[in-house]
Structure formats: structure tokens, C-alpha cells
């Protein structure tokens, strides 16, 4: 639900009762990923989406019912073989959706409100909810809020707030029947996909920027303090990586005599796009970057070009030698670096540094001749073949682009394909999945019993 935190926070401030439906898990092809939410208030106003239209009507009615009876429910929607137009996902996917009433006076409201307020203000926030387990625990929630390091440079800490639980319970099996694959949602389908390098290794992110401490302060699940600490710690790890998904906790790990499934939703500040080179192509890329929800910085050593008048939509404009700026600025595993200068005196020192940083993407503009010359110069200054393999050059996908806007689209398409694991080939006639998750990892499991 944190994907619609700003709107929901306004509803809380206005004292509205509402119910929120959240995607917990998906199987097969599904249009929305875990954490996607639809909310309905007492007047019938709806915001958000859980399926791109496939099951919105049925979920809307579930929300209205939850508002009336005050009970949460876990519901599964899938493709109907008998009637493709019946309530279900005609794309062939399966989704589990948790519907939760959030009414004035409900014990769950304070913790939901705390998470929404923190996310709406732009703070790093993780909301953890038990979606499967003993009836007395289902629906209980915990919020972990990350705070950036203070002025003295001390490590940031995380605070946790809690509630006493939802009404009602949801009893569902944790897998998909019929041998279908089960996707716990611990994937790149969230708003922020971070932490996974191209070689398959994992980087928890936030290099030299915000550090988060998963330490827990006080209880959130009643008489289960060990479970409180376990969930708070795991939610902090999800938050570090800016990820949303589910966590499976076995009997031993839960300390409550039964396995649990916990949905962890993370909301973190927008990822960074740093565009080096204040040229006309950069202006178009800034606009596309903002559209993709990046915080965009333009950097160029030439003050006559790096101006607010030329880049009104940029979040930040820096007049400095590119490599010097990159040395001192904050980057993380979600950051994308786009080098558009195609000038050796700027490119070589910049790329020498960039290719050694744990960022998501490094691309450089230039002709194939420029690319070969630049690679030779980079080798001369000690850049290894493994490091050069990270460089996307010439930058962008082959769209036949000519104008700055078309080129920006080409670059953005490559960034999205790299992030999501797409091939870049036309979907028409292709046999590849429509929704890719190249940086997926297995469901997190703690204390599982064989």
C-alpha cells in the first residue's frame, strides 16, 4: 500500500475510514507486483490498482465488505478456464490479495498511519504485516523507519511502531495449486529494483548515503518478542535494498509454533540518474528520467551550458569536472550514470571511476569509433576487461533514433531492460515473458523445518 501512501495519508489526516487491498504474491503472468494496492473509502471513492483492470471490480466489492464487517480477508484470483471473462486474470496469472479495513478506532490504524505518514514524507519506510499464520497473529503489523545519518556522521537507526492486530483471519495455503510456480514477490517488480549486480552478486545498496539499522526498540506481536526482533531485522534488510516481497518464517524461527508468511513493503526515496554532459540530448534525457521517477542531476564542467534555463526539470545542476563530482557524491545500487560528453578528457577519468562503483547502470554516448578509442584509453589507465564489460556503449537500444527525444527514449529503454531483465526484442512473435525479473532471488526463509 505504500505505493499510494501520499493519497492514503491524506485520507488518514481527514479521518476517513477505508479498506486497502494489497497484492501479497503473484504466480505466472500478472500485471502488478507485490505491494501494489487499491483502496476504497466509506463513500466509495477508489484509488490505486491491483491488476491493471482484470479484477478491480471484485476487489472493490471486497473492500466495501471489509469496511462493513471490519474483517480482513486473503483472496486468490486466477484465470478461469470455464469463462475467460469471469472474475479472474485473463492473462493467465494468479494473485493473492490481502484486504484490510482501516477504520477509526481499529487497533491496526495507528501503525498503518505511521507507515503511510513516513512514506508520504519521502522517508525510507518498511511496513511488515503477517498475512498467513495463526489467527491471532494474522494482520498484525510493524513499521521500520530509516533515518539518515545525523550531522555528526553517526550511524542511522531504525524505529519500529506496532499494533495489536487486525480483526478476523485469513486461512490460505502458501503455494499455488496444480504444480504452478509460486512467486513470493521478493523480486524487481517493486517501484525500486536494487541491490543486484549483473554478475549475480548482491549489494545491499546505499553506498555512502543513508545507512539503516534494523535494530528493534519495542514489541509488535504481543507475547512474541523474539518474533518482533526477527521481523524487524528482516524488514530492515528489505528496506536497505529498497525491496518489497514476502518472507517465509518456519516454526523454529517464528517462535509461535507455526510457520508464518510476512509481507514486507518498502518505500525509499527515488533512485538517482546522473547525466554527465549538458548537451541537447541531456535535456531530453532529463525529461524521460523524471518521467521514470528518477532524481536527476546534470553535471558539466562548463558553466555556460550547465544552467537552470537549459535544464528546468533537473533536480540538481552541478558545474564541476565530472569525475570530481562523482568522487564526492552519493550513489547506490539503484543509481544510473549516463555519460553523454563523448570527450576523452571528461570521459576517461569519469568512466575509470564509474565502472568501479556498485551502481546499476553505466552508459556512454559516442560512435563505434569513439567507443573503440575510448576503450583503448581506458585500458591504458588500468581499467580491466571485467570492468569494461559493465559499460553500455554505444549507449541505448537500437531504435534507429535520430532526434534528442528519440535518443533519450533509446537510453531509457536500455535502462529499463537492464533493470527488469528484458531482451529488447519486439514482443510480437517472441516467446519471452512479457514481465521479466532478472534480479530475482528465492523467497526469504528463516527457521524452516524440513
Q: In what order do the strands lie in the sheet containing 94-102?
A: 46-48, 37-41, 18-27, 94-102, 73-78
Q: How confident is the model at residue 137 (pLDDT cuts 50, 70, 90)?
A: confident
The residue among 235 and 350 whose pLDDT is bigger is 350
Query: Does the pLDDT at position 296 exceed 70?
Result: yes
Query: Does the pLDDT at position 313 exceed 60?
Result: yes
Query: Does the pLDDT at position 271 exceed 60?
Result: yes
Q: How far apart are CA 413 and CA 398, in angstroms?
A: 10
What cell was used for 361? Answer: 547502470
Q: Residue 111 in contact with residue 238, Cβ under 8 Å?
A: no
Q: How confident is the model at residue 15 (pLDDT cuts 50, 70, 90)?
A: very high
Interior/surface letters 185-222, b for 16+ CB within 10 angstroms, e for the rest: bbbbbbbbbbbbeeeeeebebbeeebbbbbebeebbbe
Q: How confident is the model at residue 144 (pLDDT cuts 50, 70, 90)?
A: confident
Lowest mean pLDDT among 5-9, 75-79, 187-191, 245-249: 187-191
- What predicted TM-score, i.e. pTM, was given to this entire model? 0.63
Q: Backbone phi, then psi, for 284, in 5-degree steps?
A: -65, -40
Q: How confident is the model at residue 140 (pLDDT cuts 50, 70, 90)?
A: confident
Q: Residue 360 in contact with residue 335, Cβ under 8 Å?
A: yes
Question: Mean pLDDT over all residues of the chain?
Answer: 77
Query: Does the pLDDT at position 375 exceed 90?
Result: yes
Lowest mean pLDDT among 248-252, 255-259, 443-447: 443-447
CB neighbours (10 Å) of residue 431?
Answer: 5
CB under 8 A, 24+ apart: contacts of 35-39: 35/1, 35/2, 35/3, 35/185, 35/190, 35/191, 35/244, 35/245, 35/263, 35/265, 35/266, 36/3, 37/1, 37/2, 37/3, 37/4, 38/63, 39/1, 39/4, 39/7, 39/8, 39/11, 39/63
CB neighbours (10 Å) of residue 251?
Answer: 14
The residue among 50 and 448 whose pLDDT is bigger is 50
Query: Does the pLDDT at position 234 exceed 50?
Result: yes
pLDDT tens-place string over residues 35-49: 888 999 999 999 998
Q: What is the average per-residue pLDDT within 141-156?
A: 53
Q: How confident is the model at residue 441 (pLDDT cuts 50, 70, 90)?
A: very low
| CA distances, 1 to each of 116, 124, 432 (Å) | 8, 14, 30
pLDDT tens-place string over residues 78-120: 755 443 344 555 555 678 888 989 999 887 788 888 888 888 8
Lowest mean pLDDT among 127-141, 156-170, 262-276: 156-170
Angle CA(145)–CA(291)–CA(387) in degrees, nearest 5? 75
Q: What are the residues whose beta carbons fall under 8 Å from the beta carbon of 37, sequence distance 6 or more?
A: 1, 2, 3, 4, 20, 21, 22, 23, 48, 50
What confidence score (pLDDT) does residue 79 get? Answer: 57
Residue with cell 564509474: 354
Q: What are the residues whose beta carbons fall under 8 Å from the beta carbon of 290, sequence distance 6 or more?
A: 296, 313
What confidence score (pLDDT) does residue 130 get? Answer: 85
Q: What is the average per-residue pLDDT within 171-191?
A: 34
Q: The dihedral of CA 407, 410, 416, 421: what is its sign?
A: negative
Cα-to-chain-centroid distance, residue 75: 24
- Could you tell me which of 210, 237, 233 has the C-alpha nearest to residue 332? 210
- Could you tell me which of 256, 186, 229, 190 has the C-alpha nearest to residue 444? 186
Share of the chain above pLDDT 70, in %: 74
Q: How far apart are CA 106 and CA 208, in angstroms?
A: 40
What confidence score (pLDDT) does residue 85 get? Answer: 41
- Rg of the chain's alpha carbons, rounded to an integer? 23
What confidence score (pLDDT) does residue 328 get? Answer: 95
Asked, as a colleague might, if the bond just before 394 is cis with ω within 30 of 0, I would say yes
pLDDT tens-place string over residues 315-370: 999 999 999 999 999 998 889 999 999 888 999 999 999 999 999 999 999 999 99
Q: Residue 195 in contact with residue 242, Cβ under 8 Å?
A: yes
Terminal CA-CA length for the chain: 33
Lowest mean pLDDT among 96-105, 310-319, 402-411: 96-105
Amino acid at each position: 500500500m505504500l505505493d499510494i501512501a501520499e493519497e492514503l495519508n491524506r485520507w488518514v489526516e481527514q479521518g476517513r475510514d477505508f479498506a486497502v487491498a494489497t497484492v501479497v504474491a503473484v504466480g505466472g503472468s500478472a500485471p502488478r507486483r507485490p505491494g501494489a494496492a487499491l483502496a476504497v473509502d466509506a463513500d466509495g471513492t477508489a484509488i490505486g490498482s491491483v491488476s491493471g483492470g482484470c479484477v478491480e471490480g471484485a476487489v472493490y466489492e471486497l473492500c466495501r465488505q471489509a469496511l462493513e464487517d471490519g474483517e480482513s480477508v486473503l483472496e486468490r484470483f486466477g484465470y478461469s478456464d470455464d469463462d475467460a471473462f469471469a472474475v479472474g486474470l485473463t492473462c493467465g496469472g494468479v494473485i493473492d490479495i490481502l484486504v484490510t479495513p482501516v477504520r477509526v478506532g481499529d487497533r491496526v490504524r495507528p501503525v498503518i498511519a505511521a507507515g503511510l505518514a513516513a512514506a508520504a514524507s519521502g522517508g525510507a519506510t518498511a511496513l511488515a504485516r503477517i498475512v498467513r499464520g495463526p489467527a491471532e497473529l494474522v494482520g498484525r503489523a510493524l513499521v521500520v523507519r530509516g533515518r539518515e545519518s545525523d550531522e555528526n556522521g553517526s550511524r542511522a537507526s531504525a524505529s519500529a511502531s506496532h499494533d495489536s492486530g487486525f480483526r478476523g483471519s485469513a486461512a490460505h495455503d502458501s503455494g499455488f495449486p496444480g504444480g504452478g510456480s509460486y512467486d513470493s514477490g521478493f523480486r524487481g517488480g517493486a517501484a525500486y529494483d536494487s541491490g543486484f549486480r549483473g554478475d549475480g552478486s548482491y549489494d545491499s545498496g546505499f553506498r555512502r548515503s543513508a545507512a539503516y539499522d534494523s535494530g528493534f526498540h519495542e514489541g509488535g506481536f504481543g507475547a512474541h518478542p523474539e518474533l518482533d526482533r526477527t521481523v524487524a531485522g528482516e524488514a530492515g534488510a528489505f528496506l536497505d535494498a529498497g525491496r518489497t516481497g514476502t518472507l517465509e518464517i518456519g516454526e523454529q524461527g517464528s517462535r509461535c509454533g507455526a510457520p508464518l508468511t510476512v509481507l514486507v513493503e518498502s518505500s525509499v526515496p527515488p533512485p538517482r540518474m546522473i547525466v554527465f554532459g549538458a548537451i541537447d540530448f541531456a535535456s531530453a534525457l532529463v525529461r524521460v528520467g523524471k518521467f521514470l521517477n528518477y532524481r536527476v542531476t546534470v553535471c558539466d564542467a562548463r558553466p555556460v551550458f550547465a544552467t537552470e534555463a537549459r535544464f528546468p526539470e533537473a533536480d540538481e545542476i552541478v558545474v564541476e569536472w565530472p569525475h570530481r563530482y562523482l568522487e564526492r557524491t552519493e550513489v547506490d545500487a539503484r543509481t544510473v550514470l549516463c555519460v553523454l560528453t563523448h570527450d576523452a578528457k571528461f570521459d576517461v577519468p569519469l568512466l575509470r571511476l564509474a565502472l568501479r562503483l556498485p551502481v546499476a547502470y553505466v552508459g556512454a554516448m559516442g560512435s563505434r569509433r569513439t567507443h573503440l578509442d575510448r576503450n583503448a584509453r581506458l585500458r591504458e589507465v588500468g581499467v580491466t576487461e571485467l570492468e569494461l564489460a559493465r559499460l553500455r556503449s554505444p549507449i541505448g537500444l537500437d531504435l534507429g533514433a535520430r532526434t534528442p527525444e528519440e535518443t533519450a527514449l533509446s537510453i531509457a529503454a536500455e535502462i529499463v531492460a537492464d533493470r527488469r531483465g528484458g531482451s529488447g526484442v519486439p514482443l510480437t512473435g517472441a516467446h519471452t515473458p512479457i514481465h521479466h525479473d532478472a534480479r530475482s532471488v528465492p523467497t526469504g526463509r528463516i527457521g524452516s523445518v524440513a
